[in-house]
Amino acid sequence: MIYVITSQNTISKVVKLNLCSGCGTCAALCPKKAISMEIDETKGVYIAKIAKEKCTECQVCFAVCPGHGTDYNELNMEIFGRAPENILIGNYLNCYSGNSTNYDIRYNSSSGGLITQTLIFALEEGLIDGAIVTRMKKEKPFEPEPFIARTKEEIIEASGSKYCPVPLNVALEEALKIEGKFAIVGLPCHIDGLRKAEKVNKKIKQKIVLRLGIFCNHSPNFYATKTLLKKLKVEEKDVNKISYRGEGYPGMLKILSTKGKRNLVQSTSWSLIGSYFFYPNRCLCCSNGVCELADISFGDAWLPEMSEEKIGISVLISKTEFGDQLLNKMESKNQIRLNQLDSKKVVQSQEGMLYTKKKKTKAYKYLFGAVPENNNLLESDRIDFMLNLFPCLTVRVFSKPVFRKILHIIPTKVIWLYSAPYYYFMLKKAKRDFKRNNWTS
């Protein structure tokens, strides 16, 4: 155990050890309203900040914080009534591929538009009164804004992936105050925080009745988008709107300038945003790729047989009875199209991501000092250790502003090529290990 619960265990310790995921759960749950989520300019991520004069060291923040670790065994028993049957994707009832049957929703969302469609359906059926979702701020187009969407239009406005840090769970504070039942759409760190919070504040389970999870490799820090703009020679002050996905599948990153100019970002530039140079430390330490504790989780269908898809398609995992029934009801009302998928296909669609999430060797501890205490990991060997050194060293070095600046002058193709050998060997190892264990075909 790295942590022993003492009177000193507040999230200050988590922040100090660089383990804060910036999810915002502590800020919403703090009984003294002593915590705020602020952007740390050197790291380009949200960090929880405690106002010491208000803090009574009640430790609620530490109890709900997924940053220092999550007991997945315990939460799986509580939520699903059993230990995870598949270490890579956790407990599940069914796996599917699918999409919204509404062309516009499907075309303008990230993958198949299923999250947006599910929220609209839940709202129209009266299952929820609103949903905690994320849009980009109008006055600050680089910053995300978690909010409670109460209409179909607001749900659609929030569709699409935001590849930047999002302190989503701060919106729980409002949801707890107002009348009604809500859904939440979040990354694994958000849903893990929510699940931990359910144990501390029983009201949360009554208010948040539907948890839609997003598969997540990592949430790039704010420098990812800023570096891309530098490479495109677009001034930050001239940016009116950024949307990271949409207009078909897998979609385009679009930058709309105040002068009415529209930049579309192609795949090599796009891979800059997703590269290890912009990984927050805590994202690299994360071990939950497919949002294991959600009711339903959704991802991209990165499968060879779906590579020709041009409008939008997702893979999804139903985890709870409630989630699975909701999907089937939507299908019976022709709101979505679903095709049963073998869980091995879901693993195949996320091989690299799942390898990075589940294979954590001592390389992490050596290079980051502290690591979260998560118990949903795979055993690893010496080759994993060697492979781990690449992302850990890259993230460690490029978390320093001086090294990040070098990226402004290095051509994007070179940046892309830098990681290519690692991806090649990592994917080979992932395929071999997963096949050997019969997790993929």
Ligand X SMILES: Cc1cc2nc3c(=O)[nH]c(=O)nc-3n(C[C@H](O)[C@H](O)[C@H](O)COP(=O)(O)OP(=O)(O)OC[C@H]3O[C@@H](n4cnc5c(N)ncnc54)[C@H](O)[C@@H]3O)c2cc1C
Q: Quick one: 160 or 323, whose CB is closer to ligand X?
A: 160
- Which residue stretch of 61-69, 84-92, 161-169, 263-271 sits at the interface with ligand X (rule: CB under 6 A)? 161-169
Determine the straight-line distance between the first and last CA of the chain, rounded to whole angstroms.
36
Q: Is 210 in the site for ligand X (CB under 6 A)?
A: no
| CB 114, min distance to ligand X, A | 4
* Cα distance between residue 48 and residue 68, in whole Å: 13
Which position has the token pair 């991501």?
353
φ, ψ of residue 49 to 5 degrees: the values are -125, 130
Q: Is 357 in the site for ligand X (CB under 6 A)?
A: no
Q: Is 160 in the site for ligand X (CB under 6 A)?
A: yes
Q: Give the x/- contact pattern for ligand X in 119-158, rule: CB under 6 A.
A: --------------xx-----------------------x
| CB 436, min distance to ligand X, A | 23
* Cα distance between residue 365 and residue 293, in whole Å: 25
Q: Is 219 in the site for ligand X (CB under 6 A)?
A: yes
Q: Quick one: 148 or 370, whose CB is closer to ligand X?
A: 148
φ, ψ of residue 220 to 5 degrees: the values are -60, 145
Number of residues that bind ligand X (CB under 6 A): 32
Q: Quick one: 164 or 370, whose CB is closer to ligand X?
A: 164
* Cα distance between residue 380 and residue 260, in whole Å: 51
A 10 A CB-CB count for 401 gives 12
- 204 contacts 173 by C-beta, under 8 angstroms: no
- Which residue stretch of 71-79, 85-93, 111-119, 255-263 sits at the interface with ligand X (rule: CB under 6 A)? 111-119
- 67 contacts 59 by C-beta, under 8 angstroms: no
Q: Quick one: 216 or 415, whose CB is closer to ligand X?
A: 216
A 10 A CB-CB count for 371 gives 23
Q: Quick one: 354 or 370, whose CB is closer to ligand X?
A: 354
Q: Quick one: 50 or 317, whose CB is closer to ligand X?
A: 317
* Cα distance between residue 104 and residue 162, in whole Å: 19
Q: Give the x/- contact pattern for ligand X in 382-421, rule: CB under 6 A.
A: ----------------------------------------
With H, G, I as helix, E, B as strand and everything else as coil, classify residue 57: coil
Sign of CA dihedral 363, 364, 368, 373: negative
DSSP state of 253: E
> For strand 253-257 and strand 239-243, is the pairing parallel, antiparallel, or unpaired?
antiparallel
DSSP state of 295: S
Q: Quick one: 35 or 216, whose CB is closer to ligand X?
A: 216
Q: Which of 186, 193, 213, 372 binds ligand X (CB under 6 A)?
A: 186
Residues 37-56 that bind ligand X (CB under 6 A): none
- Which residue stretch of 13-21, 120-128, 297-305, 337-345 sits at the interface with ligand X (rule: CB under 6 A)? 297-305
| Residue ranges that bind ligand X, judged by CB under 6 A | 109-116, 133-134, 158-163, 166, 168, 185-187, 214-217, 219, 298-300, 314, 350, 353
